[in-house]
Structure 1
């Protein structure tokens, strides 16, 4: 599978794909899933946004049958354009089991440099079976609260608005724990008012043509929306775990062995 929008720089995409090939060869791993994360995949890039490629990798069985395990992260040189790094399969599986939404977002990214859909679908099915909605809600709540703790800029507000939209999506989809990744889809699949959607669309349009949004305030309607969703999500802090930890570990082990084997 490959899904590259025309808005991406073809030369940059080619370099990312070359880096992925080099990582696979140098580390002796396969990369069944490589996507774009960050503002481009979240639906609100700026003209100078860098490229945040993230990937999941799987080594041969021998990689995991050792007393001296290798790092579970592979990184490539970071610069103003490229931010390319990835996680080993066990790291992704254990983070999903703990309710970390980041690897789930990678599996749902709208921008895919290269991917095995069977691999993706198996991980999403595993996530759907083991993830607690309250844990995902806490993830997005904490992400937003961390952003609110620093200097407030319009750019940073996007990193509050998207988690707030994810929380609203969870509230509007009580039978699902895996929200979409990008802000426009999150809002389109919720019951938010047209006023909120229009304000978000206008702010995204402003960011798309502005290198630095500065320290101005976000539209009041969006600030109120984010505050309401974060306040409502505070209830997730007291929700007790539901899945049996033993069953969750067994599912993770079974999937890990199958994908490595």
Structure 2
């Protein structure tokens, strides 16, 4: 997709230098509605005076408001926090750093993308299983039930299965469904992208989604158990992130 040029201006206006800024959320997942907001995610570099004192502020910067006519949801972590999350079984940061919807990049971002591939482990399945279970339970309690959270459940499960099978991060549910071929997903995406953010579904469709949720959850567990992915990031991966962090910090917080 072609990104709105205003997003670059919004990235330029962030309070700290950005190593990268990418788009996450519905635009990344392949089902933005005409009124969807833009989820801008990134990693910034706090200057030395901010990190050597007794207190640490702005480790995470958040901003949700309309900027230049765009409804924005902005979250950026300082590189030390972001790298720490990357070393854990956190699928969100993997998807952010590897997102193809790039608003701001840098040489450090390209280096980080290569390192991120080595951070993928079989235990990332727990992230996707946990998130899908939470979203599923919340969605079952909704009245009326919305399409958006249901698509999040499908997207998370398919992303997790694909990651366990291939080691590749793919967050776009439409791309994933070329492999899984679940007809209800194409229908849900078509309705979500053509309508408003709060589109709902009919109760008579519940049985289809319940069966699919159970089947995909089992497939993700099986893919995790049979996965050839590593158990944890290697010491070399840790050392690469540590070296990159030191270089970013000692270069006066320049992300480019």
Query: Is TM (by shorter chain) over 0.5?
Result: yes
Q: 1:249 to 1:77 in 2, by over 3 A?
A: same
Instruction: Tell whether the 8 Å contact from 1:46 to 1:208 is kept in structure 2 after alignment.
Output: yes
Q: Kindly indicate whether residue 199 of structure 2 is the aligned counterpart of residue 213 of structure 1.
A: yes
Q: 1:110 to 1:220 in 2, by over 3 A?
A: farther
Q: 1:67 to 1:245 in 2, by over 3 A?
A: farther
Q: Kindly indicate whether residue 13 of structure 2 is the aligned counterpart of residue 22 of structure 1.
A: yes
Match of 1:108 in 2: 98
Which of 25, 28, 43 is matched with 1:56 structurally? 43
Match of 2:28 in 1: 41
Q: Kindly indicate whether residue 139 of structure 2 is the aligned counterpart of residue 151 of structure 1.
A: yes
Which of 185, 196, 203 is matched with 1:200 structurally? 185
Q: Distance in 2 between matches of 1:93 and 1:120?
A: 12
Which of 116, 129, 140 is matched with 1:127 structurally? 116
Q: What TM-score do the two structures reach when normalised by structure 2?
A: 0.79
CA RMSD of aligned residues (A): 2.8
Q: Kindly indicate whether residue 57 of structure 2 is the aligned counterpart of residue 70 of structure 1.
A: yes
* Structure 1 counterpart SS, 2:65: coil
Q: 1:110 to 1:251 in 2, by over 3 A?
A: closer
Q: 1:151 to 1:242 in 2, by over 3 A?
A: closer
* Structure 2 counterpart SS, 1:150: helix
* Structure 1 counterpart SS, 2:23: strand
Q: Which has the higher relative contact order, 1 or 2, with Cα contacts under 8 A spaced 6 or more apart?
A: 2
Match of 2:254 in 1: none
CA drift of 1:81 comes to 1.7
Structure 1 stretches lacking a partner, 5+ long? none
Instruction: Tell whether the 8 Å contact from 1:169 to 1:187 is kept in structure 2 after alignment.
Output: no
How many residue pairs end up in the alignment? Answer: 236
Q: Distance in 1 between matches of 2:247 and 2:215?
A: 43
Q: 1:168 to 1:216 in 2, by over 3 A?
A: same
Q: Which moved more, 1:137-146 or 1:203-212?
A: 203-212
Q: Distance in 2 between matches of 1:179 and 1:146?
A: 21
Q: 1:121 to 1:187 in 2, by over 3 A?
A: farther
Q: What TM-score do the two structures reach when normalised by structure 1?
A: 0.77
Match of 2:155 in 1: 162
Which of 183, 192, 215 is matched with 1:228 structurally? 215
Q: Kindly indicate whether residue 248 of structure 2 is the aligned counterpart of residue 259 of structure 1.
A: yes
Instruction: Tell whether the 8 Å contact from 1:41 to 1:182 is kept in structure 2 after alignment.
Output: yes
Instruction: Tell whether the 8 Å contact from 1:199 to 1:219 is kept in structure 2 after alignment.
Output: no
